[in-house]
Amino acid sequence: MKYSQANKQLYMLTAIEAESVKRMPTMDKGKKSTGFVLQMNIFDPFSLELKNKYFVEHPKLTAYADEHLKAKRKYLGIIQDFKLNDDNTITYMFEEMDNYTVTNTYTSYTNGRMSTHTSTHFYTDLGSMGIVNMDQSGKELRSYAIAKDQKAEATLYMFDLYSRKMSNWNFRGQGYSYNNLSGFYSYDYMFVNDKEYVIYNENVRNTESEKETTKDNKSMGRISLTNTIYAYFDGSKVVKSYLFGDPKNKDENRFCQLEMNTAAEDGKSFATMMIERKGRDKQAYIVWVNF
């Protein structure tokens, strides 16, 4: 839920199981999951009168993903956040997501006795990102998608970009959450000087490749071998650049903890934690990024 200072309206975005409203799903969390649709509800916060409501559909995003990403299945990324813009449009942020578990069973013998141990690990595959711009009536104005292939050792949910800035930072928890580095995964979004930027950690190969297809997009791999990049859509294609400068040396990387990103009030800069790796040495810095 968000409040618009521009038109004094309250916006409530809701994910609904598609079957319950007899509609085809526009979002899911993997092939075996329940499908969802997304509904925007716009209220007058003083009278609580419902001014408008509509299902968020994005045929232009689907068409862009089909043409440029050439994925094997229709784009059904789940909602991560939305932004109310000064020009009275709304930007929706989507991301492909698939939750699953892997259970391993081990057998050991002690003093002739057999014992069985089971461990379960929770994972989330994070795929291509979708950015959709709509007017107040729900008409899709412009959309594009960026291929991405990440695997976080944690269970992540829809609206993660919206909620993670209001929660604890995830970094090396205890027990089963020791490998939860989800704060380095997914992406962030900024709109500065009439241009929107998608910020995420990516390996060098994908950053420097001009190919947009998911088939040519290599899995991101280890966080410490990535660099933070910013990407924007120039009207025909996605342009990518290194946020902290070209590493040049193959044994150097500079990446950031995305859930620590904290924007200034004017929205034109943000602070974050950047980690610089040189060989086996890693140093963490608090940095300001100005656009």
Q: Spell out the domain ranges in the chain.
A: 2-290
Res 219: pLDDT: 87
Which phi and psi (to 5°) does residue 165 adopt? -75, -10
Res 29: pLDDT: 86
Token look-up 């940095």 returns 287
Give pLDDT < 50 ranges for the chain: 177-178
Closest CA to 233 of 259, 196, 267, 202: 196
Whole-angstrom Cα distance, residue 189 to residue 233?
Answer: 13
Q: What are 132's two structure tokens?
A: 């959709």
Q: Read off the pLDDT of residues 83-141 as tens digits, 9 standing for 90 and up.
A: 999 899 999 999 999 988 888 887 877 777 878 878 888 889 999 999 999 999 999 99
Closest CA to 229 of 263, 251, 254, 196: 254
Res 169: pLDDT: 63
Res 14: pLDDT: 96
Characterise 234 by phi-psi region: left (phi > 0), alpha (psi -120 to 50), beta (else): alpha
Q: Read off the pLDDT of residues 116-125 as tens digits, 9 standing for 90 and up.
A: 878 888 889 9
Whole-angstrom Cα distance, residue 221 to residue 218?
Answer: 8
Q: Containing H/E element for 105? A: strand 90-110
Distances (CA, A) of 62 to 70, 72, 74, 188, 232: 10, 12, 7, 21, 18
Res 212: pLDDT: 87
Whole-angstrom Cα distance, residue 1 to residue 111?
Answer: 60
Res 172: pLDDT: 54
